[in-house]
Amino acid sequence: MSRAGEIEAALEAVRRRLDAACRAAGRDSSEVSLLPVTKFFPESDVRILYDLGCRDFAESREQEATSKIKAFRAQVPDQSVRWHMIGHLQRNKSRSVARWAYSIHSLDRERLVGALGRAATTALESGERTEPLRVLLQVSLDGDPQRGGAAVSDLEHLAEQVQSSPGLEYRGLMAIPPIDADPDAAFGELREIHDRLCLEHPEATELSAGMTNDLEAAVRHGSTCVRVGTALLGSRPITSD
């Protein structure tokens, strides 16, 4: 089968899976978006997904993303395409990410709020972006800072900081369940944290949860965005991100 045929079949299968998960959870399919994760895969795969109707794509490594997006934009000058940063971000890469990211799902520390806020403001002033950078705070559900994510007790403060940064807009939360955790328990906990923060920030309704192996559980617990890589594009080399 051609690569395009392979990806088309995979996309249909993932959409069916997501529809079934929504039905089982008593939710409307329109409540949960599918965010294809294209890290490690070439720009040609992104174009195949684009031709199949996808307009949102996620990347987790700044350098790879920056060159892939440049190549993609040279081929497809479509302003409606949105790129999302979902991986660990080093502060010194904020300027680059603020140029191309529609949203970031992985903001997890105060020092990054300042750097990204300044970078997004600069990009707005220079016309490199037209809207504030949408921010989801990444929550650590196992309290292990090595794996990324903010401690639950820091979220309220971080949300306030994001909210008061002119270049940023606080939109919600993202989490990855701890390794070996029961996804239902992890996403249930995430949902409670999200509901609590929504009392203070009712506009920040986004909950980015669920990947290839656990999207059904995430949909059961209120996910509004599943980030799917492997089920669409195949397996990647094993790395920490």
Q: Write out the residues near ligand PLP by the rule CB under 6 A.
A: 37, 39, 60, 86-87, 176, 211-213, 227-231, 241
Shortest distance in whole angstroms from residue 106 CB to ligand PLP: 7
Q: Give whichever of 104 and 133 is closer to ligand PLP, judged by the CB atom.
A: 104
Dihedral angle sign, alpha carbons of residues 79, 133, 120, 164:
positive
Q: Give whichever of 69 and 121 is closer to ligand PLP, judged by the CB atom.
A: 69
Helical H segments across the chain, by residue range: 3-24, 43-51, 62-75, 94-100, 110-125, 155-163, 183-200, 215-220, 230-233
Shortest distance in whole angstroms from residue 125 CB to ligand PLP: 30
Tokens of 120: 């997004």
Q: Give whichever of 94 and 138 is closer to ligand PLP, judged by the CB atom.
A: 138
Shortest distance in whole angstroms from residue 241 CB to ligand PLP: 5
Shortest distance in whole angstroms from residue 91 CB to ligand PLP: 19
DSSP string, 138-198: EEPSS--GGG--B-GGGHHHHHHHHHT-TTEEEEEEEE-PPTT--HHHHHHHHHHHHHHHH
Q: Give whichever of 89 and 121 is closer to ligand PLP, judged by the CB atom.
A: 89
Shortest distance in whole angstroms from residue 65 CB to ligand PLP: 12
Q: Give whichever of 29 and 212 is closer to ligand PLP, judged by the CB atom.
A: 212
Q: Give whichever of 75 and 230 is closer to ligand PLP, judged by the CB atom.
A: 230
Residue whose tokens read 């190549």: 71
Contact of 91 with 159, CB cutoff 8 Å: no
Measure the CA–CA gap between 20 and 13, rounded to whole angstroms: 11
Shortest distance in whole angstroms from residue 147 CB to ligand PLP: 11
Shortest distance in whole angstroms from residue 224 CB to ligand PLP: 14
Measure the CA–CA gap between 157 and 155, rounded to whole angstroms: 5
Backbone angles phi, psi at 20, to 5 degrees: -65, -40
Residue whose tokens read 């971000």: 89
Q: Give whichever of 68 and 227 is closer to ligand PLP, judged by the CB atom.
A: 227
Residue nearest to ligand PLP (CB): 229
